[in-house]
Amino acid sequence: MFFKPFHVVALVAALSSAAAFAQAPIVIKFSHVTTNDTPKGKGADRFKELAEKATKGRVKVEVYPNSTLYKDKEELEALQLGAVQMLAPSLAKFGPLGVKEFEAFDIPYIFPSKDVLYRVTEGPVGKSLLKKLETKGITGLSYWDNGFKVMTSNKPLRHPADFKGQKMRIQSSKVLDAQFRALGANPQVMAFSEVYQAMQTGVVDGGENTPSNVYTQKMHEVQKHLTVSDHGYIGYAVIVNKKFWDGLPADIRGQLEGAMKEATRYANAIAQTENAQALDAIKKSGKTTVYVLNDKERAEWRKALLPVRKSVEARVGKEVLQAVDKESAALGFK
Ligand code: LMR
């Protein structure tokens, strides 16, 4: 039997297209708003490395940091539409999606320690919150830590009265809105990528963020004062487009879950050090005056911010608040 040349050509074409099909990697676009050099940025890069290794290259993770693809609100819309597959928005940003329970994490001074926070996110309530995202076409995979927030402005912020009339940038959370109103300030929702310029041009007077976010966005260069107040928390939920995730071959999904577990351990292990180093670097830059609240001032802030919890209880629900109280008591906090 003879092979005619066109048989050979057809056979080669069929084999090579089958091979190309078998080899085409599954692409995960992972978009986020901070730089590479932050707890979240480093976590995302580590996930890429681990995921590509675990799947032997069958999955390719493309990380787009620093709002290069989307700003805060748009990235959530893009995930729901399937234009990107993975994000790690701060918990403060889930309110506009209709999952307001996440805003409980924004309540000032709610966590007496990081351990209380971990017990909540790693416990049944943390899981139940991620589950609530499913009706929005989102699967929640993990919680990533950033840290406690500092306040920045062009004037010193030591006492609650110093906030009066200050225009303060906030993330899109009603709890953060209530927090600044309780201090007599004027909160303004703004995307993270726009904050530096807004501070530079005076569109806002100040804001709140973690030291690593302040430093990597260079906010300290356009803010004269920074107060270490640890009054609130920023952390993330790593999320994926549910349809995409459910459609993955089971073996690949399992490998990615393993990679996510390890990346989570890594991101959470470095968060505190990253923030301490950023605060040091801010001090060393000499561009902003860093002030640490003393106990008396901290007590004044707590007192001024205490009504916020009551005022948002109906919005955020009891689930998280009760879990925080229970875990606080379990760890010996009153
Ligand atoms: C912010 O918008 O200030 C933060 O949520 C940014 C981030 O993702 O850490």
- CB-CB contact of 138 with 79 (8 Å): yes
Q: Are 287 and 221 in contact (CB under 8 A)?
A: yes
The DSSP string of 272-333 is HHHHHHHHHHHHHHTSSEEEE--HHHHHHHHHHHHHHHHHHHHHH-HHHHHHHHHHHHHTT-
Mutate to test the pocket of ligand 1, among 33, 169, 219 (most ligand atoms within 8 A of CB): 33
User: Residue 18: what pLDDT?
Assistant: 55
Residue to mutate (ligand 1; options 72, 143, 204; most atoms within 8 A of CB): 72
CA of 132 to the centre of ligand 1 (A): 22
pLDDT tens digits for 148-200?
999 999 999 999 999 999 999 999 999 999 999 999 999 999 999 999 999 99
pTM, two decimal places: 0.93
pLDDT, residue 11, reads: 61
Q: Does the CB atom of residue 227 touch ligand 1 within 6 A?
A: no
Closest C-alpha residue for ligand 1 atom 2 = 192
Decide whether any atom of ligand 1 lies within 6 Å of the 213 Cβ. yes
Please give the share of the chain, as a percent, with pLDDT higher than 90: 92
Say yes or no to pLDDT of 332 above 80: yes
Q: Is the CB of 67 under 6 A from ligand 1?
A: no
CA of 101 to the centre of ligand 1 (A): 18
With a 6 Å cutoff on the Cβ, whether 66 touches ligand 1 is: no
146 lines ligand 1 (CB under 6 A): yes
* 33 Cβ inside 6 Å of ligand 1: yes
240: amino acid identity, one letter: V
pLDDT at 1 over 80: no
C-alpha–C-alpha distance, residues 70 and 178, integer Å: 27
Across the range 244-255, mean pLDDT stands at 98
SS3 117: helix
23 — pLDDT class (breaks 50, 70, 90): confident
35 lines ligand 1 (CB under 6 A): no
Alpha-helix runs per DSSP H in the chain: 5-23, 39-54, 72-81, 114-122, 124-132, 174-182, 195-201, 211-216, 242-246, 250-285, 295-316, 318-330
Mutate to test the pocket of ligand 1, among 168, 204, 212, 213 (most ligand atoms within 8 A of CB): 213
Q: Domains in the chain and their CATH numbers?
A: 18-330 (3.40.190.170)
Q: How many CB atoms lie within 10 A of CB 31?
A: 26
Residue 59 near residue 256 (C-beta atoms within 8 A) = yes
**Which region holds residue 180: left if phi is over 0, alpha if psi is between -120 and 50, else beta?**
alpha
